[in-house]
Every structure is written in structure tokens, then in C-alpha cells.
Chains A and B, each alone.
Chain A
């Protein structure tokens, strides 16, 4: 076999492989029904809520829920998102009656349970704070949710970088998709409606 033939066969083999992979990608159904596809985002958790109760993700089976990572020293995206998700739940009426939203602080150093409780009292009652006890617990849960956070020093103290998306989970507890701060209320509500109907 001459060199040219070897090259020709290799190229055809590569083309066949790519075609097979592309076909498989098109034919295989996505792993979950949501916008962001499947993948192990989230996972079981047991955390205390701001009012002292314990929240076990297993007991949430049967009802969709949402998780947001924020902090109270956040001037914009955190209060706006909590306010808007509250408005969305109100707009969806009875369908969202049992929907739950959990706010996990990425700044446990400053955000005590008492502070979270008073902060969240400004928003819809279906929003609860979940308390991480220490940095290790925060690292573990943000890793499970593939969420990013970072403490950034400022001249007078520090601020936090944090993933701003609202994570959505379906009634089986599987990651379903996200709500984005930059979406319109129509888009967010359409997503929530589909999540709650699923």
C-alpha cells in the first residue's frame, strides 16, 4: 500500500467516525427536560433553614424548587433576583403554591441566620435562607452546584463574586435549568410554568 492510499483510508475512517458521533449526538435524547441539559448539578443536601427548621432535599421530592447563591452585602443582583422571583411566583398563582426558593449565602462570615431571616422578610415567604455552618460546608455545596464564589478585598473590607443564576430543580430533584438575571419576566415565567407543569 502506498502512502497516498494510507492517507486516503485514514481520512475516510475519520470522516466515518465524526459522522457516527454526530448521528449519536442527534439521536440520543437529552438527559433531562430542562434548558441547560442534564449533568450532576445539585445533589442531596441537608441544611438548617434561617428559621431553625432543617431542610432535607429528599423531603422536597414531588415539588420543584430553586436555589440561589448570594449575600446580603450585594447591592443589585441579589435583592433584584429575590424580588423578581417572588413576583414570578405570585404571577403563576396556584401552580407555584408549593414552589420553594432557597437562598444560600456565600458570605457566612457576615450573614448570620438572624440577619438572613430579617433580610428575607422583605421578600416572598416561599423564599428561605439555608445556613452553611462553615467555609468547608460552603465549598462542598457550591462544588455540587457548580457555583462559583470568591472573596474579593476592597479598601474597606471585602465583597463577593458569585454565580448569579437561579438553579431550578424538577419534582424528581433533578437539575432542570436556570433563570438568568438578564432575562425578561416573560421568559422567566414561561420557564417556571413549564417546570411546574412537568
Chain B
């Protein structure tokens, strides 16, 4: 990344955060965005990434957008989508984030939409929840606590499906 794009990104983030907190003070009722069933998996030693999965509900009256966030113990968080295409696993960064329509519910789950924790400082261990924050255009910073399922788990509660 060049210095210029880095500065631009920082400026954009500042605007996003400032704008979001401004909007939050005026328009968004508390509880507009509700997050549940947040989980991730224990990571193998040396793995630098993990996928975060959760359900986002928008109980407000206006659309909102997940733009990014942070995760304790990770350098960065990105919003991604993966898809299996002709037997090939493809993963893409969603630069536009994820829009949650009013009254809508979006599920981030294995094989589809997810938040990606990057530059993990140390492996995630099963059983000890990790805190993070998700940033929304209107709702602002929403705290999230992720349960840590075992390595290879397909869902938060079940080892096998």
C-alpha cells in the first residue's frame, strides 16, 4: 500500500467513524443493530487468520451497513465473502461492506459471508471468548463477543453436523 492510499484510508475511516457517531446521536435508536450467535474457531498453531461468524439483525427503520471493525488479538478485520465455484474455493474482500436492510437479518456463516480476523497475534484457543467491535455506518461501534468453537467446527455448538 502506498503512503497516499494509506492516508486516504485513514481519512475515510475517520470520516466513517465521525459520521457514524454523529448519525447515532441523532437518528438511530439504540438496539437498531442486534448481533447474536457470534463465534469463531480455535486456530492451528501458526495460522494467521480466522473467520468470524454471526447473525446481524437490523431492527431500525433505515438500512445500515457493516463496514469493518476490530478483534482483540488480531491486527485487522476485513469483511469477506467466500463461495465454492466449480470446486474452487474463492474468497473476496467486500470493499462495500454488507448492507442490512431495515427489518432484515443477515447471517455470516462458513462457506459464505464472514468477517476475517487477520494477523492473529497468537492462536485462538477453544473455550475462551474473545471480544471485538463491528463498525456500522449508522449504528456505529457495536461490541461483539465471539465464542471459540473447536478447530474444524461447522457450527458454534456442534462438532459434527
Contact = CB atoms under 8 A, between A and B. Distances in A.
A75 B88 contact: no
Determine the interface band of chain B, counting residues with CB < 8 A from chain A. Answer: 35 or more
Contacts of B47: 72-73, 79, 119
B110 A156 contact: no
A87 B159 CA distance: 11
Given A80-B110, A83-B151, A121 B78 contact: no
B13 to A, nearest CB: 12
Contacts of A73: 47-49
Interface string B68-97: 000000001010101010011111110100
Contact of A121 (B45, B114, B153): B45
A74 B49 contact: yes
Interface stretch (A4-12, A19-27, A161-169): A161-169
A164 to B, nearest CB: 4
B44 A161 contact: no
A122 B93 contact: no
Interface string A128-171: 00000000000000000000100010111001011111000000
Interface in B43-81: 43-51, 76, 78, 80
Given A79-B44, A155-B93, A156-B118, A162 B88 contact: yes
Contacts of A120: 44
Closest 7 pairs (CB-CB, A-B): A83-B152, A122-B44, A75-B51, A118-B46, A164-B89, A118-B45, A154-B93
Interface of A: 72-77, 79-80, 82-84, 87, 115, 118-123, 148, 152, 154-156, 159, 161-165, 180-182, 184-185
Given A119-B47, A165-B87, 6 more contacts: A76-B82, A76-B110, A77-B82, A83-B150, A120-B44, A156-B78
